[in-house]
Structure 1
Amino acid sequence: MTDRQVLLSGMAVTVFRLNGQFLDVAEELARPAGLTAAHWQVLGAVIEAPLPVAGIARAMGITRQAVQRIADILADNGMVEYRRNPAHRRAKLVAPTPQGVEAVKRIGPAHAVFADRLCEALGDDRAADVDRLLRELSETLEALAAEDRG
């Protein structure tokens, strides 16, 4: 393998490991509010403004089918509701109910504690650098994928 292949593989394996680690943290934070990490992820996507399922999927980088399944579970549990979408006749908007907003709020204190612990361990400047670099990596991968599609 070339040095660049080793770098790509190293980045991918690290990001896969980070994904698992962040999912574990999210599960721990969400559980006391009666949510899973996936439920929290979908609720978090619509907490500020309702979105169609496809919009949530794009924002979260997951499949539309996965979001639909989770949104249906959340709707059955009274955490979200489907609303008419003025921009599209068939694609309903997913919106949080007061119960869903309250569940996300219950996660807030533990989320703040963990954020403080992580930023203390890394240092605020390094934490900001990590955030910036991960966003840059994601944007670069998106641009490369767009090149391949176009």
Structure 2
Amino acid sequence: MPTSDDGRAPARDALTDLILTLFRVNNLTLTWGDRMVAPLGLTSARWQILGAIVYAERPQPVAWLARDLGANRQNVQRIVNELEKDGIVAFETNPHHRRAHLVVLTDKGRRTYEEALRLYVPRAEALAEGMAAEDIAAARRVLDVLRAKLEAEEG
């Protein structure tokens, strides 16, 4: 790509390379996660939702989980419904909204999530080997800024 006089082309080109790499890494990460948690009856998407439930400060409705994940509410609802059928999550009455039930982990769900973490930790340690924590943190900061800009465009 030709460089423009405003000096933004190098940053634009670097961002394009980053985005293309993100697409590839995202696909590889989802496949990696799917293989890891498949023995538990999970997929990366199911596991991601369990994580959102665990890390929420309090039980949340599906719409809030979807917002926190940056995901489509209908897709999250479909997965939550599947998890409920499998006894991994349950719905509780929401005192603030009659129709938007709260999603909570069942005992089976908590055990499943903890088992997924047990599988994840050694694999994450192996992936992190040879990478400096500072470099990982810098990459996270760049991705946080990119996410914030993309969210602002949607606003």
Q: Give me the TM-score of the superposition, normalised by structure 2.
A: 0.83
Equivalent of residue 65 in structure 1, options 74, 78, 85 = 74
2:17 aligned with 1:4, yes or no?
A: no
1:115 corresponds to: 124
Decide which of 135, 142, 146 is 1:129's aligned counterpart: 135
Q: Residue 148 of structure 2: which of 138, 143, 147 is its match?
A: 143
1:128 is displaced (CA, Å) by 4.5
Q: What is the CA deviation profile of residues 33-66 of structure 1, one whole-angstrom value per residue up to 9, with x for unaligned ones? A: 1111111111111124422112211221211111
CA distance in 1: counterparts of 2:154 and 2:45, whole angstroms: 28
Offset from partner CA, 1:86-143 (integer Å, 9 cap, x none): 2323211111111111111222222111022112232xxx24532x234323432343
- Distance in 1, Cα, partners of 2:29 & 2:107: 26
Counterparts of 2:139 and 2:98 in 1: how far apart (Å)?
A: 36
Letter of the structure 1 residue corresponding to residue 17 of structure 2: G
Number of positions where the alignment pairs a residue of Structure 1 with one of Structure 2? 146
1:44 corresponding residue in structure 2: 51
Query: Cα 1:11–1:129, aligned 2, differ >3 Å: closer, same or farther?
Result: same
Instruction: Tell me the CA shift for residue 31 of structure 1.
Output: 0.9
Moved over 4 A (4+): none
In structure 1, runs of 5+ residues without a counterpart are: none
The range that moved more, 8-17 or 86-95, is 86-95
Structure whose alpha-carbon radius of gyration is higher: 2
Show the counterpart of 1:16: 23
